[in-house]
Amino acid sequence: MNNKQKLIDKLAHAFPAKKSHHQLLHEIEDLKPYECDALSAYQAVPLAVAIPDEIEQIKLILSICYEDNVPVVARGAGTGLSGGALPHENGILLSLAKFNKIISINENNNTAVVQPGVRNLAISEAAKEFGLYYAPDPSSQIACSIGGNVAENAGGVHCLKYGLTVHNIVQLKVITMDGDELTIGCDAFDSPGYDFLALLTGSEGMLAIITEITVKLLPIPAVAKVMLASFDDIAVAGQAVSDVIGQGIIPAGLELMDNAAIKAADDFVHAGYPHDAAAILLCEIDGSVEEVQDQLQRTEQILKNSGATKIQTARDEAQRAQFWAGRKAAFPAVGRLSPDYYCMDGTIPRHQIANVLKRITDLSEEYGQTVVNVFHAGDGNLHPLILFDANNEGELERTEELGGKILDYCVEVGGTITGEHGVGIEKINQMCGQFNSEEITQFHAIKIAFDEKQLLNPGKNIPTLQRCAEFGAMHVHHGKLPHPELERF
């Protein structure tokens, strides 16, 4: 009997005999659907997929894997864009999809206790009857799971005003690789000891397995109004973003789309966008009736002064939905333009938007590949979409290289390689450019504090120094070798 079979036999004991064949998959045709997350460029088939529906089963699976030194990769809905849930070929994929219950909603304390497999949007749908909602709204919110949101510190259109996942959760229940069940955070506004709640948020399944999440709910705003501002120069639109925020307005959402994105989205869902605009800004203001009235007037004036050629405020809820439909459908709309696209996630200081967009245009011309821009301008979180055809040999590699250059430039102007999609496997090489050896070593030490054997999602998020040495050798900047202290082979 080989090692794989021995492991599967052991894992089978975690499940009731009758259910074992549904909850422990190990035949190749059953494993194939799990070989990637939403970043399909990376694929790997795990030894087995475990789909527990009880906490005790998770504990047992982890203890078997701990004993046998088997890697464990957690997976929520598989909608991640950075390959964070890419299976390990010598490991177990731990699907948390069956933990899909909303345990309770506390309308007095404005919190909900949910299992990790609950869909993001399902929380707001359940909270609606209490006049509450869950604010972070990644564009995949209809499908993505809250556990995955915590693992990636997911953002969304409205996080400019309401924060990221880290700002909207209060407590986690987790199981560590060595079997401890821990409660991180508490029901209060703060908790004693180190802020492991922040550390675990965005840790990409590298520190512990999340089994329960208490999220913060907010009262649904009385009014939300959206403005569509057109510009004949994308740089002017970029500057308008800084002008709005610099003058004290924090919109609920502030999104920028370039001409290619405008046309693609409008052709797809007929959002009523102006095809002749070089760029549009969608600016949403929410709050009480009076607050929205005051701020709408001011924002309109600021946008006019900043050079908007036309400003249209959605006349009713139907038109508001229509304006947003274009933005929300922008990615699939761009998908109609090209067989494949590659979505980047760099974040930059807002005053660099115009500069970085110019650099992207230059790179796009240099590589002869179209780049479409549609992004969270208020946060400076770019999502350049690079169009390509994976069937053409070498095009994916060229696209990744172009994407890498965009991210390098984001770091150069004071930004980061990822604002909300995570590092996963996709941006692991770029981590070497953003952090030095000592910082990367400290990250590894953080992981070991939670996961001594380094079995949770190994190879993701934080590169080894060796990898940086090898990758860095390709990117010598001004003659300075990154990580010079390392031997190179």
Partner 1 sequence: MNNDFSETLNEQVACAFANKTPLIIAGGNSKAFYGNHVEGDVISTAKHTGIIEYQPSELIVTVRSGTLLSELEAELKANKQMLAFEPPQHTSSSTIGGAIACGLSGPRRIACGSARDFVLGTTIINGKAEQLRFGGQVMKNVAGYDASRLMVGAQGTLGILLDLSLKVLPMSEAEVTLQLKTELDTSIKHIQQWLKQGLPISASCYVNNSLTLRLSSTPTAVNTSASTINKLFETEEITNDFWLGIKNQSHDFFAEKNLAEDQQLWRCSHQSDTVFYGNNNNTHINDQLIEWNGALRWIKSHRSLYDEAEKNNGHATLYPVNKEHIDTDIFQPLQPGLMKIHQRMKKAFDPENILNPGRLYTSI
Which residues, 214 to 253, sit near partner 1 by CB under 8 A?
Answer: 219, 221-222, 242-243, 245-246, 248-250
Verify binding: residue 448, partner 1, rule CB under 8 A.
Answer: yes
Is 486 a binding residue for partner 1 by CB under 8 A? The answer is no
Q: Which residues contact residue 21 at a Cβ distance below 8 angstroms, ignoring those fewer than 6 apart?
A: none
Report the 10 Å Cβ neighbour count for 485.
10
- The residue (of 176 and 338) whose beta carbon lies closer to partner 1 is 176
Window contacting partner 1 (CB under 8 A); options: 5-13, 158-166, 332-340, 478-486: 158-166
Q: Which residues 134-153 are close enough to bind partner 1 by CB under 8 A? A: 152-153
- Give the nearest distance from C-beta 167 to partner 1 in angstroms: 5
List the beta bridge partners of residue 160: none
- Cβ proximity to partner 1: between 47 and 410 the closer is 410
Instruction: By CB under 8 A, name the one of 295, 299, 322, 373 that touches partner 1.
Output: 295
CA 152 to chain centroid: 5
Q: Does 92 bind partner 1 (CB under 8 A)?
A: no
Q: Which stretch binds partner 1 (CB under 8 A): 37-45, 101-109, 118-126, 385-393?
A: 101-109
Nearest to 166 by CA among 190, 127, 201: 201
Determine the Cα–Cα distance for residues 215 and 136; give it in Å rounded to an integer: 10
Residues paired with 255 in a beta bridge: 282
Output DSSP code: residue 456.
Answer: B
Q: Which of 338, 336, 315, 308 is nearest to 238 (CA)?
A: 308
485 sits near partner 1 (criterion: CB under 8 A)? no
Asked whether position 472 contacts partner 1 by CB under 8 A, the answer is no
Q: Rule CB under 8 A: is residue 453 a binding residue for partner 1?
A: no
- In the bound complex, what is the minimum distance in angstroms from residue 455's beta carbon to partner 1? 16
109 binds partner 1 (CB under 8 A): yes
Q: What backbone torsions phi and psi does residue 219 show, to the nearest 5 degrees?
A: -65, 140
Q: Does the protein bind partner 1 through residue 125 (CB under 8 A)?
A: no
CA distances from 207 to 142, 283, 307 (A): 26, 37, 48
Binding residues for partner 1 restricted to 37-66, rule: CB under 8 A: none
Which member of 98, 304, 351, 467 binds partner 1 (CB under 8 A)? Answer: 351
**Using CA of residue 448, residue 452, residue 457, residue 458, what is the dihedral sign?**
positive
**Strand (E) or helix (H) holding 174:** strand 169-175
| Radius of gyration, CA atoms only, the chain | 23
Return the range that interacts with partner 1 (CB under 8 A); candidates 230-238, 282-290, 384-392, 465-473.
282-290
Q: What share of the chain is helix, strand, coil (3-state, %, to 5)?
A: 40, 20, 40
Q: Does 17 bind partner 1 (CB under 8 A)?
A: no
Q: Are 24 and 51 in contact (CB under 8 A)?
A: yes
- Among positions 294, 340, 408, 412, the unique one binding partner 1 when judged by CB under 8 A: 294
How far is the C-alpha of 201 from the C-alpha of 197, rounded, in Å?
6
Exactly one of 75, 88, 376, 460 binds partner 1 (CB under 8 A); which one?
376
**Selected binder of partner 1 within 157, 379, 469, 482 (CB under 8 A):** 379
Toward partner 1, which CB reaches closer, 51 or 170?
A: 170
- Shortest CB 416 distance to partner 1, Å: 4
Closest to partner 1 by CB, 184 vs 387, is: 184
By CB under 8 A, which span of 73-81, 256-264, 374-382, 396-404 interacts with partner 1?
Answer: 374-382
Which residue's CB is nearer to partner 1, number 266 or number 451? 451
Residue placing its CB nearer to partner 1 in the complex, 127 or 265: 127
Pick from 184, 213, 215, 224: which binds partner 1 (CB under 8 A)?
184
Q: Which is nearer to partner 1, 116 or 251 (CB)?
A: 251
Number of residues this chain uses to bind partner 1 (CB under 8 A): 94
Q: Count Cβ neighbours within 10 Å for each residue of 186-205 and write b for 16 or more, e otherwise.
A: eeeeebeeeebbeebbbbbb
Assess 355 for contact with partner 1 (CB under 8 A).
no
Q: Is the dihedral of CA 475, 478, 482, 488 positive or negative?
A: positive
Tokens of 402: 């172009």
Which stretches does DSSP call E strand in 218-304?
Answer: 218-219, 223-231, 253-258, 279-287
Q: Residue 104 Cβ, how far from partner 1 at the closest point, in Å?
A: 12
Instruction: Record the tokens describing residue 389, joined without a space.
Output: 């055809």
Q: Does 163 bind partner 1 (CB under 8 A)?
A: yes
The neighbouring-strand residues paired with 480 are 477
What is the separation, in whole angstroms, between the first and last Cα of the chain?
Answer: 38
Report the residue from 57, 95, 140, 461 that binds partner 1 according to the rule CB under 8 A: 461
User: Which residues, 6 or more positions from 464, have their beta carbon under 8 angstroms from its beta carbon?
Assistant: none
When asked if residue 419 is in the footprint of partner 1 (CB under 8 A), the reply is: yes
Q: What is the Cα–Cα distance from 87 to 74, expressed in whole angstroms?
A: 9
- CA 437, CA 446: separation in Å to the nearest integer? 14
366 forms part of the interface with partner 1 (CB under 8 A): no
Residue list 422-441, contact with partner 1 (CB under 8 A)? 422-423, 427, 431, 434-435, 438-439
Binding residue for partner 1, selected from 2, 445, 478, 487, defined by CB under 8 A? 445
